[in-house]
């Protein structure tokens, strides 16, 4: 039987405002419990919500970045349900008139093909607090610091057909919100959360199967695993003659499985109605125009420019532009070092990234900043040092504050490109290895590497490799 997977994602992006969406409490992460929960956040009697301008602006920026319709008049609604981390008994959200309407993003898949994923809508809402279970002798502890933090809930169309497509889409949205600086994207701290609606159906079927909503996924890797697990589970149920139940399931990363949370049939009677405490939000065209001007070059455009103008391969361009900090670092490096884009790309995505990964660091926390990194690339570009020596120098720069030039000077690492000097070293090596020379001349050409190695060693790694190779070949021929 041929099964088709259908996935839609709901992404909650915490907006990077200083204060909450309806109150002037701080949104900083990690404060002592309940020290950032004021009367509005606690739902005290008599308080009124006042909407944060920045949250509205951020939602509009997102619409502009995803070619989405902008709700010129949007309305806040109350979503009613009871849970201890929701003190008012309702969450202020948007229902029929969201601030962001239909849009689309293009994602690049592993095989290099692209696919357009539709956005249904994105709306502003407030986050709930956090509950701590099991820590207080049979009671639940509630921390309301997060209550009222602005969220943009981004809802996709059910356009994805595999876990990989879902991850590509989630990464794309992640990249966009970070580019336009509306969300820090920190998945561990919950600033960027993905819920996946997953269903399966017979290939060619028009009707969607019954879906399960998967929550509690805090990394892209887990998103892929959770969806794959869920797809298998649903296929097993149907092939075993059963029926998939519409429900919310939690992903358990430790056991790599999803587990039923509660039946959604009863719970989803949220009785939405317009919030009488808040007036409709109107967005003027002049504001949209103004915000349009503040948008940076977006990943797609920047990638195209890297390919067209910098002549970078498609793959390098997508790696370098996936994250704004990386693309900025890369451009600063080529501007300051005079290195070719390809050389800079190889060094950023190769040597720099592998060292960062090993150290578990983000680019923003790199011990070697763009300025020092440029200093190193400049010396590789102008042949002062070889790439091999460059790697050694980068290691030394990693653990110090020295510049590449300082290290080259101090360690005497300057590349030897003086042909007479190289020639002398070649002569010495040939003279010291007469039997290898004979074998080489008798046709054992693999020995070239041996000679290269010997001369390199004699130069302490400093001989210009291209020059050395060329001169050595000539000399060996006799």
Partner 1 sequence: MAVDEKTVAQVAHLARLSIDENRVTEYADEMSKVLALAETMNDINTDNVEPMAHPTHAVQRLREDKVTETSQREAFQQCAPSVEEGYYLVPQVIE
Record the tokens describing residue 420, joined without a space.
Answer: 């007479």
Interacting residue with partner 1 among 5, 14, 36, 374 (CB under 8 A)? 36
Residue 24 binds to partner 1 (criterion: CB under 8 A): yes
Task: Report the nearest approach of partner 1 to the CB of residue 149 (Å).
Answer: 12
Q: Which stretch binds partner 1 (CB under 8 A): 29-37, 396-404, 416-424, 465-473?
A: 29-37
Question: Cα dist. 3→203, 231, 235 in Å?
Answer: 5, 9, 8
Residue 332, burial from CB neighbour count under 10 angstroms (0-12, 13-18, 19+):
middle
Task: Report the nearest approach of partner 1 to the CB of residue 57 (Å).
Answer: 9
Task: Report the nearest approach of partner 1 to the CB of residue 82 (Å).
Answer: 6
Q: Which is nearer to partner 1, 53 or 473 (CB)?
A: 53
**For the chain, what is the largest distance between any 2 Cα atoms, rounded to a whole number of angstroms?**
98
Residue 436 binds to partner 1 (criterion: CB under 8 A): no
Residue 93 binds to partner 1 (criterion: CB under 8 A): no
Cβ neighbours, 10 Å, residue 72:
15
Instruction: Give the dihedral of Cα atoms 62, 64, 65, 66; nearest 10 deg.
Output: 90
Q: Which is nearer to partner 1, 51 or 476 (CB)?
A: 51
Contact partners, residue 125, CB within 8 Å, separation at least 6: 21, 79, 91, 92, 93, 94, 150, 151, 153
Cα 272 to Cα 79: distance, rounded to the nearest angstrom: 5
Residue 37 binds to partner 1 (criterion: CB under 8 A): yes
Cα 226 to Cα 218: distance, rounded to the nearest angstrom: 11
Interacting residue with partner 1 among 54, 257, 351, 439 (CB under 8 A)? 54
Task: Report the nearest approach of partner 1 to the CB of residue 212 (Å).
Answer: 16
Cα 317 to Cα 330: distance, rounded to the nearest angstrom: 11
Judged by DSSP in three states, 339 sits in coil
- The candidate with the shortest Cα–Cα distance to 322, out of 174, 105, 221, 110, is 174
Question: Cα dist. 33→37, 216, 274, 368, 369 in Å?
Answer: 9, 22, 31, 37, 36
Task: Report the nearest approach of partner 1 to the CB of residue 370 (Å).
Answer: 30
Task: Report the nearest approach of partner 1 to the CB of residue 355 (Å).
Answer: 37
**Per-residue mark of binding to partner 1, 111-150 (x: CB under 8 A):** --------------------xxx--x-xxxxxxx------
Residue 25 binds to partner 1 (criterion: CB under 8 A): yes
Residue 325 binds to partner 1 (criterion: CB under 8 A): no
By CB under 8 A, the residues from 230 to 259 that bind partner 1 are 250
Residue 258 has phi, psi (to 5 degrees) of -110, 145
Interacting residue with partner 1 among 5, 14, 23, 386 (CB under 8 A)? 23
Q: Which stretch binds partner 1 (CB under 8 A): 20-28, 110-118, 360-368, 426-434?
A: 20-28
Residue 52 binds to partner 1 (criterion: CB under 8 A): yes
Interacting residue with partner 1 among 51, 332, 343, 416 (CB under 8 A)? 51
Residue 405 binds to partner 1 (criterion: CB under 8 A): no
Interacting residue with partner 1 among 32, 110, 254, 431 (CB under 8 A)? 32
Residue 212 binds to partner 1 (criterion: CB under 8 A): no
Residue 47 binds to partner 1 (criterion: CB under 8 A): no
Cα 18 to Cα 28: distance, rounded to the nearest angstrom: 7
Cα 20 to Cα 254: distance, rounded to the nearest angstrom: 33
Residue 350 binds to partner 1 (criterion: CB under 8 A): no
Residue 441 binds to partner 1 (criterion: CB under 8 A): no
Residue 17 binds to partner 1 (criterion: CB under 8 A): yes
Cα 355 to Cα 351: distance, rounded to the nearest angstrom: 6
Task: Report the nearest approach of partner 1 to the CB of residue 94 (Å).
Answer: 11
Q: Which stretch binds partner 1 (CB under 8 A): 54-62, 236-244, 338-346, 395-403?
A: 54-62
| C-alpha triplet 147, 14, 180: angle, nearest 5° | 155
Q: Which stretch binds partner 1 (CB under 8 A): 14-22, 112-120, 408-416, 470-478?
A: 14-22
Q: Which is nearer to partner 1, 271 or 424 (CB)?
A: 271
By CB under 8 A, the residues from 276 to 305 that bind partner 1 are 276, 278-282
Contact partners, residue 394, CB within 8 Å, separation at least 6: 351, 352, 355, 368, 376
Q: Which element (helix H / strand E) includes 262?
A: strand 257-263
The length of the chain in residues reads: 478
Sequential DSSP letters for 397-408: HHTS---HHHHH
Residue 33 binds to partner 1 (criterion: CB under 8 A): yes
Residue 167 binds to partner 1 (criterion: CB under 8 A): no
**Residues interacting with partner 1, by CB under 8 A?**
17-19, 23-26, 32-39, 42, 44, 50-56, 75, 80, 82-84, 97, 131-133, 136, 138-144, 250, 261-262, 269, 271, 274, 276, 278-282
């Amino acid at each position: 039987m041929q099964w088709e997977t259908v996935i839609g994602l709901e992404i909650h992006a915490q907006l990077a405002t200083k204060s909450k969406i309806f109150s002037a409490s701080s949104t900083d992460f990690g404060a002592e419990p309940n020290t950032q929960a004021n009367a509005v956040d606690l739902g005290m009697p008599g308080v009124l919500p006042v909407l944060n301008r920045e949250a509205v602006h951020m939602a509009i920026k997102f619409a502009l970045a995803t070619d989405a319709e902008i709700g010129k008049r949007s309305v806040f609604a109350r979503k009613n349900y009871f849970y201890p981390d929701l003190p008012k008994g309702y969450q202020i959200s948007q229902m029929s008139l969201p601030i962001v309407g239909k849009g689309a993003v293009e994602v690049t898949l592993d095989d290099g093909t692209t696919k357009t994923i539709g956005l249904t809508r994105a709306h502003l809402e407030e986050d709930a607090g956090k509950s701590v279970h099991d820590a207080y002798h049979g009671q639940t502890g509630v921390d309301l610091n997060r209550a009222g933090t602005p969220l943009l809930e981004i809802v996709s169309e059910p356009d994805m057909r595999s876990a990989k497509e879902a991850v590509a889409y989630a990464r794309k949205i992640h990249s966009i919100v970070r580019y336009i600086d509306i969300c820090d994207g920190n998945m561990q701290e919950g600033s960027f959360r993905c819920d996946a609606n997953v269903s399966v159906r017979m290939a060619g079927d028009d009707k969607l199967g019954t879906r399960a909503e998967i929550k509690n996924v805090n990394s892209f890797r887990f998103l892929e695993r959770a969806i794959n697990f869920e797809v298998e589970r649903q296929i097993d149920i149907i092939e075993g003659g059963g029926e998939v139940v519409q429900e919310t399931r939690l992903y358990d990363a430790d056991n790599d499985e999803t587990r039923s949370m509660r039946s959604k049939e009863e719970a989803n009677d949220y009785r939405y109605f317009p919030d009488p405490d808040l007036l409709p939000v109107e967005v003027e065209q002049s504001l949209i125009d103004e915000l349009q001007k503040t948008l940076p070059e977006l990943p797609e455009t920047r990638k195209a420019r890297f390919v067209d103008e910098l002549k970078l391969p498609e793959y390098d361009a997508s790696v370098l532009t996936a994250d704004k900090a990386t693309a900025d670092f890369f451009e600063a490096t080529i501007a300051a070092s005079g290195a070719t884009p390809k050389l800079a790309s190889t060094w950023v995505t190769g040597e720099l990234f592998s060292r960062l990964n090993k150290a578990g660091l983000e680019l923003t926390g790199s011990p070697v900043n763009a300025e020092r990194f440029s200093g190193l690339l400049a010396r590789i570009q102008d042949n002062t040092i070889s790439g091999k020596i460059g790697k050694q120098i980068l290691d030394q720069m990693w653990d110090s504050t020295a510049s590449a030039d300082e290290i080259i000077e101090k360690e005497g690492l300057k590349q030897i490109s003086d042909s007479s000097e190289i020639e002398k070293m070649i002569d010495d090596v040939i003279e010291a290895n007469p039997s290898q020379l004979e074998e080489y001349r008798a046709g054992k050409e693999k020995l070239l590497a041996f000679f290269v190695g010997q001369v390199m060693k004699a130069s302490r790694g400093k001989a210009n490799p291209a020059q050395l190779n060329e001169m050595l070949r000539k000399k060996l021929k006799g």
